[in-house]
Amino acid sequence: MVQNITEIMNDIGVKANIANAKLSTASNEEKNIALNSMADQIEKDQAKILLENKRDIELAKSNNISSAMIDRLSLDETGIKNITSSIRNVAKLNDPVGRVLDSWDRPNGLIIKKVSIPIGVIGIIYEARPNVTADAASLCLKSGNASILRSGSDSFHSSFAIYESIKNGLKSTSLDDNSIQFVPTKEREAVGFMLGGLNSNIDVIVPRGGKSLVSRVQNETKVPVFGHLEGICHVYVNADADIEKAIDVTANAKMRRTSICGAAETLLIDKSIYKEYLPKILAKLDSLGCEIRGDQYVNGLFADAKDISEKDWSTEYLDAIISVKVVENIDEAISHIKKYGTGHTEAIITENENSAEYFFKHVDSSIILLNASTQFADGGEFGFGAEIGISTGRMHARGPIGLEQLTTFKYTVYGNGQIRP
């Protein structure tokens, strides 16, 4: 008998809740054995996963998907190695569950401890990057959370192949293999069920994808969300910047990988140095194949620059295009970021410590860097082992969402017969 979508999703929710009861109290050793088994199975199934990835890529090309999105979708042997290494790195990390975050004694003799615990069941809704399947699954498992994975249609076959390897890897361990589940349909209706909480069986939703996906999640969800809408990231070259650092960091922030949310979309530069610095920075970007869109100052210096529009400042290109603006000073740069930024990642290039601290204090993004590329906005680069996404919200999970951010806490209170007067 073929199940309908309602039955499928409700069944997934119930199974996740049951599996979570055991996973939430599993030992660190049990979780690490499971993670390494998952990685081993993915390695064994590499040929199958790459074959399914090829299938996704061929479908993407037939649907005229952009080259930037195909880049995010593509896997090769190195990609598989990176996936398994990431899982094993997560296994090596300290267990985030059961940590005593704080403790204190009360005058009445009570001892109070604040202890980290798993959140519960995490629903992850993501689009074109199949490696998210493994990253999300491993982080949730290590942090004691059951997970429900819903990939985008573009990466469906790759993601499902990775999931099947993960599930088979779990079967040889002490954990319930329903600790990690995958929504086995491309139907958009499935997302609606997850946003509804699956009858209170999902505790948090993490969306990882484009603006339309995240907007839908934020508008329709009935459960808390960790996520970000867009990654409009800025590089600001301050008057006291080192020219070589400005060139190298800007080029890397924009062109290392244009399709990731940490790629810089806008370059801001102080007016006092733009005539000297900007031609060199733009020449480097141009040599790498980047299209320059700028204001009148930029166009006056760089013949190939295109006129900027108001829309450009708030556009996440995810492509080899950068918006460039000359600003009067650090305050105008900050004002521009506040107006057009999305709270994701910003970088300042300067040798002036006071300017750096001023920028850190007044820019309210989740990640702010000094003399370093915005493409370091990544859980792996932060030492988290991997990340489940980037959050720009105001909840406790902000910036890269790693193990620590996938836990909450409870208070354990130790008494010796105390009663309240």
Query: Does the CA dihedral 339-345-349-350 come out positive or negative?
Result: positive
The DSSP 8-state label assigned to residue 75 in this structure reads: -
Residue 1 — very low, low, confident or very high, per pLDDT cuts 50/70/90? very low
Query: How many angstroms separate the CA atoms of 194 and 127, rounded?
Result: 15
pLDDT > 90 fraction of the chain, expressed in percent and rounded: 83
pLDDT at 127: 83
Strand pairing partners for 345? 367
pLDDT at 198: 94
Query: How many angstroms separate the CA atoms of 113 and 200, rounded?
Result: 28
CB 148 within 8 A of CB 122: yes
CB 116 within 8 A of CB 64: no
Dmax over CA atoms of the chain, in Å, equals 81
The DSSP 8-state label assigned to residue 229 in this structure reads: S
**b/e code 14-45 from CB counts within 10 Å (16+ = b):** ebbbebbebbbebebebbbbbbbbbbbbbeeb
Query: How many angstroms separate the CA atoms of 63 and 69, rounded?
Result: 12
Q: Kindly report, residue by residue over 231-250, the tens digit of the pLDDT.
A: 899 999 999 999 999 999 99
Query: How many angstroms separate the CA atoms of 344 and 369, rounded?
Result: 11
pTM, rounded to two decimals = 0.84
**Domain ranges within the chain, ordered by starting residue:** 5-227+401-413, 233-376
Residue 229 — very low, low, confident or very high, per pLDDT cuts 50/70/90? low
pLDDT at 234: 98
The strand order across the sheet containing 121-126 reads 180-182, 146-150, 121-126, 204-208
Query: How many angstroms separate the CA atoms of 385 and 408, rounded?
Result: 19
Q: Kindly report, residue by residue over 108-126, the tens digit of the pLDDT.
A: 999 999 999 999 999 999 9
Mean pLDDT of the chain: 94
pLDDT at 379: 78
Residue 145 — very low, low, confident or very high, per pLDDT cuts 50/70/90? very high
Identify the architecture of domain 233-376 in CATH.
3-Layer(aba) Sandwich (3.40)
Tokens in use for 211?
């603006």
> What is the CATH T-level fold of the domain 5-227+401-413, as seen in this structure?
Aldehyde Dehydrogenase; Chain A, domain 1 (3.40.605)
Question: Which one has a higher pLDDT value, 348 or 209?
Answer: 348
Query: How many angstroms separate the CA atoms of 409 and 331, rounded?
Result: 39
Other CB atoms within 10 A of residue 187 CB: 14
Q: Which residue has the tokens 């790459």?
A: 50
Residue 276 has pLDDT above 60, yes or no: yes
Q: Which residue has the tokens 């195909």?
A: 70
Residue 46 has pLDDT above 80, yes or no: yes
